[in-house]
Structure 1
Amino acid sequence: MTKQRYFFLILILGSLSALGPFSIDMYLPGFPAIAQDLHTTVARVGMSLSSYFVGVSAGQLLYGPLLDRFGRKKPLYFGLVLYGLASAGCYFAQSIDSLILLRFVQAVGSCAATVAAVAMVRDLFPVADAPKVFALVMLVISASPMIAPTVGGYLVAGFGWQSVFVVLLAMGLLLLATALWLPDTYTPDPTLSLHPRPILTTFWTVLREPQFFTYALTGAMTFGGLLAYVSGSPLVFMDIFRVSTQVYGWIFAGLSVGFIGSSQVNSWLLRYYRSEQIVLAAMLSQSVIGLLFVAGTALGWFGLAGTVTMLFLFLCCLGFANPNAAALSIAPFAKNAGSAAALMGATQMAVGALASYAVSLFDTRSALPMVAVMAATALLALLALVVGRRFIAEPVAAAEGGAVVAH
């Protein structure tokens, strides 16, 4: 494989993986405008984000068996077409209920791109190159929270919130056209059963492993804190602090540096500390920060600058916790690593959907619901970690560098 083809494939696979994050982050600046146009509240608009997370959670479990049964490309084409139709539907949505439903369908479509990209990395590149390839793919994905909300802010300000879904539709069509040029990387296995029983049996085998449920639940809870922030931040910044859609996009992009930057520092820390040590330290720190954040918000200590600072610190802890929790979750599995990764990703999104929904339940002009849910996820993650570790008889170490990608 030539060097140019190598990086071309990584760019395509990274772009496929980034479709979901772009679909989440780009429309966040449009929350107030959507609420006004559809005659609802910003909190109710947040439920369209929760439904997207539910769709991603369900879709990850759906596409794994389909990609093995029918090959990589057919399910990918189906998912991208479904994504495009749902994006067009979101543009024409006339009620918040229809938008919530269409966002769920859009999420199910985007999952095909994410799961297929991970599978194709395994197909196209030598096993020894996988960590390096995944790191480069993650570099493409990391651009999403820095670019998408900023672009979305300018789109909403200049052309209205519907324009975001025009851009997402164009992205889906472009990726579909690009995917046609991808090589056939896997021979379909028509003997693979799609009946629920063998699939559920495999998932149950994974769930019974103490190290998996301890670190998967810890990681899912911390991820729930991230999605509570994503869901609540439009109301906090644009409604409470009255920043513009463009400024909100820049704030969101700046805060993402905390999460992305700490995950990069984590790679350096792994030279000196074990993943188990980093996760515990991160969860203790995040719990303390969460409690201070709740107290300060309730007592009115934090203005815009203070809120941004506390969010930055909270997200830094998440950047240390999540990669290590993910690596430790699937470390015990040689045979069922794919099922473990799918179940871990589905659990993350399910908990994230609950956290996002919890924030949207409070129709109040206050940052306290978002902050309280974030603090609760940190404390629950610490509880899951402390209790779960007692059941792990023989811990399996994570791969060096925590080279695990969770979607």
Structure 2
Amino acid sequence: MIRNSRIYTLLSIGTVSAMGPFVTDFYLPCLPALSGYFSTTASLVQLSLTFTMIGLAVGQLFIGPLSDRYGRKRPLVWSMALFCLATVGCLLSPDIRIFLLFRLVQGLSGAGGVVISRSIASDLYRGKELARFFSMLSIVQGLAPICAPVLGGLLLEYTDWRGIFAVLLAIGAMLTVILLRFRESLSPEARATGNIGKTFRGYVPVLRNRRFMLYVLVQAFAMGVMFSYIAASPFVFQQHFGLSPFAYSLCFGANALAIMGGSLLTARFRSASRALRAGAAGFLATGCLAAAAFVAGSVWSVEISLLSLLFFLGLILPSSTTLALELERDRAGKASAVLGFLMFFAGGALSPLTGLGDMLHSTALILFVCSAAVYGTARLTRSGERTEEAAADR
């Protein structure tokens, strides 16, 4: 089988993988404008974010198994084409209900890039090479939800909400064309056989794989911290600490670089399991520091603790993804779907909780509980990792 070049694979698949989180956050600065345009309440407009998150989570459960059966290219190209049509629907929506429907379809179609990108990596790479690829992929996936609101805010200086969605349409169309030259990564003999029902029943052994599910939970708790941070940070930095939008953007950018640094460091470890252990221990320590800073700290203590926390998040994401998908290589599409579903489900469930009561205290509690859960769950994976470490040392 002729492969795509490594650079093409990284750039195209990395960009496609970021479409899910990018489409949820890119339009956040224009939510107030949407409320005025559709003459509706803020709560109904905020539902557009919830609908997109639901689409991203549920879409992966369907597209993942289909990519195991029909290959990676066709579902990926069709999902990007559907994303373009859904974006046109958003632009032409006459009222908020139609807009919500097309936002749901945007999420469902954007899920294709998220779930299939991990499956493609699992098709093409093994061992440390897979960990190295996932470290690069995690940089893109980690930066997208952090940088998207900043870029959306800058774009709103020159256009309105329609301009935001026009940019999304242009990106989707460009990716659809680029993916037409993608060479299939899953050979016909490696694809799932039987009817569609059998294909979806393949979820059962994946969900019964205890070690795999532990790695999935590590990512779910870690991404709960990420989405909670994204939801709370505008209010914490701008309203509580009084930072300007520009200063807040600088903090956002610095934290994005921290994720990048942690992801790049992952490939320097002798094994993915060692990177995960280091990341989980650091995540717990900095999670406790961040929680304390939110309760009784200054803006500097909050930012420095978040910077450290997100650095260790950068270690956790690629290492846990690598370890999880190595265990389910024969069902990579389904495994990637479970991984992505729980990540977005955890993020969607936890981020609204930051607004309950005192935001500083509720966010601090989420940071502490999730960082402790990451560490505890990572410890439970140790029993099966000793074999991998022994192989890495030989």
* TM range, smaller chain: 0.7 to 0.9
In the TM superposition, residue 173 of structure 1 has moved relative to its aligned partner by 0.9
In the TM superposition, residue 224 of structure 1 has moved relative to its aligned partner by 0.8
Give the direction of change, closer, same or farther, for the CA distance of 1:37–1:245 in structure 2 (3 Å limit): farther
Q: 2-side partners of 1:177 and 1:234: how far apart?
A: 36
Deviates more, 1:214-223 or 1:146-155: 146-155
- Please state which structure has a larger fraction of its residues in helix: 2
Are 1:377 and 2:375 matched, yes or no?
no
Deviates more, 1:167-176 or 1:338-347: 338-347
In the alignment, what sits opposite 1:405? none
In the TM superposition, residue 292 of structure 1 has moved relative to its aligned partner by 0.8
In the alignment, what sits opposite 1:49? 49
Give the direction of change, closer, same or farther, for the CA distance of 1:273–1:104 in structure 2 (3 Å limit): closer
Are 1:302 and 2:304 matched, yes or no?
no
SS at match of 1:268: coil
Q: 1:144 corresponds to which letter in structure 2? A: A
Pick the aligned partner of 1:349 from 341, 344, 348.
Answer: 344
Instruction: Describe how 1:166-177 pairs up with structure 2 within 5 A.
Output: 166-177=166-177
Give the direction of change, closer, same or farther, for the CA distance of 1:262–1:74 in structure 2 (3 Å limit): closer
Give the direction of change, closer, same or farther, for the CA distance of 1:394–1:190 in structure 2 (3 Å limit): closer
Q: 2-side partners of 1:95 and 1:358: how far apart?
A: 28
Q: 2-side partners of 1:381 and 1:210: how far apart?
A: 16
Count of residue correspondences: 388
In the alignment, what sits opposite 1:193? 195
Segments of structure 2 that go 5 or more residues without pairing to the other structure are none
The question of whether the paired residues in 1 share the 8 Å contact of 2:231 and 2:354 is answered with yes
Q: 2-side partners of 1:333 and 1:4: how far apart?
A: 23
Segments of structure 1 that go 5 or more residues without pairing to the other structure are 403-407
Are 1:311 and 2:313 matched, yes or no?
no
CA RMSD of aligned residues (A): 3.9
Give the direction of change, closer, same or farther, for the CA distance of 1:6–1:271 in structure 2 (3 Å limit): closer
In the alignment, what sits opposite 1:265? 265
Give the direction of change, closer, same or farther, for the CA distance of 1:356–1:397 in structure 2 (3 Å limit): farther
Give the direction of change, closer, same or farther, for the CA distance of 1:308–1:44 in structure 2 (3 Å limit): farther
TM-score, normalising length: structure 2:
0.80
Are 1:329 and 2:331 matched, yes or no?
no
Give the direction of change, closer, same or farther, for the CA distance of 1:233–1:208 in structure 2 (3 Å limit): same
Give the direction of change, closer, same or farther, for the CA distance of 1:310–1:177 in structure 2 (3 Å limit): same
Q: 1-side partners of 2:289 and 2:117: how far apart?
A: 36
Q: 2-side partners of 1:345 and 1:272: how far apart?
A: 19
In the TM superposition, residue 155 of structure 1 has moved relative to its aligned partner by 1.0
In the TM superposition, residue 105 of structure 1 has moved relative to its aligned partner by 1.8
Q: 2-side partners of 1:185 and 1:3: how far apart?
A: 7
Q: 1-side partners of 2:69 and 2:322: how far apart?
A: 27
Q: 1:343 corresponds to which letter in structure 2? A: V
In the TM superposition, residue 284 of structure 1 has moved relative to its aligned partner by 2.7
Give the direction of change, closer, same or farther, for the CA distance of 1:87–1:254 in structure 2 (3 Å limit): farther
The question of whether the paired residues in 1 share the 8 Å contact of 2:4 and 2:182 is answered with no
The question of whether the paired residues in 2 share the 8 Å contact of 1:206 and 1:340 is answered with yes
In the alignment, what sits opposite 2:73? 73
The question of whether the paired residues in 1 share the 8 Å contact of 2:118 and 2:336 is answered with no
In the TM superposition, residue 34 of structure 1 has moved relative to its aligned partner by 4.2
Q: 2-side partners of 1:203 and 1:46: how far apart?
A: 32
Q: 2-side partners of 1:239 and 1:56: how far apart?
A: 30
SS at match of 2:196: coil
TM-score, normalising length: structure 1:
0.78
In the TM superposition, residue 178 of structure 1 has moved relative to its aligned partner by 1.9
Q: 1:178 corresponds to which letter in structure 2? A: I
Give the direction of change, closer, same or farther, for the CA distance of 1:250–1:31 in structure 2 (3 Å limit): farther
Q: 1-side partners of 2:2 and 2:185: how far apart?
A: 17
Q: 1-side partners of 2:391 and 2:148: how far apart?
A: 28
The question of whether the paired residues in 1 share the 8 Å contact of 2:76 and 2:116 is answered with yes
Give the direction of change, closer, same or farther, for the CA distance of 1:356–1:62 in structure 2 (3 Å limit): same
Give the direction of change, closer, same or farther, for the CA distance of 1:226–1:400 in structure 2 (3 Å limit): farther
The question of whether the paired residues in 2 share the 8 Å contact of 1:51 and 1:353 is answered with no
SS at match of 1:157: coil
Are 1:205 and 2:200 matched, yes or no?
no
In the alignment, what sits opposite 1:106? 106
Q: 2-side partners of 1:395 and 1:215: how far apart?
A: 12
SS at match of 2:158: helix
Deviations 1:173-231 (A, max 9, x none): 11112222333555666944321x6534x333233333223332122111111011122
Q: 2-side partners of 1:258 and 1:274: how far apart?
A: 19
In the TM superposition, residue 285 of structure 1 has moved relative to its aligned partner by 0.9
Deviations 1:247-266 (A, max 9, x none): 54443222111222123234
In the TM superposition, residue 11 of structure 1 has moved relative to its aligned partner by 2.4
In the TM superposition, residue 163 of structure 1 has moved relative to its aligned partner by 1.8
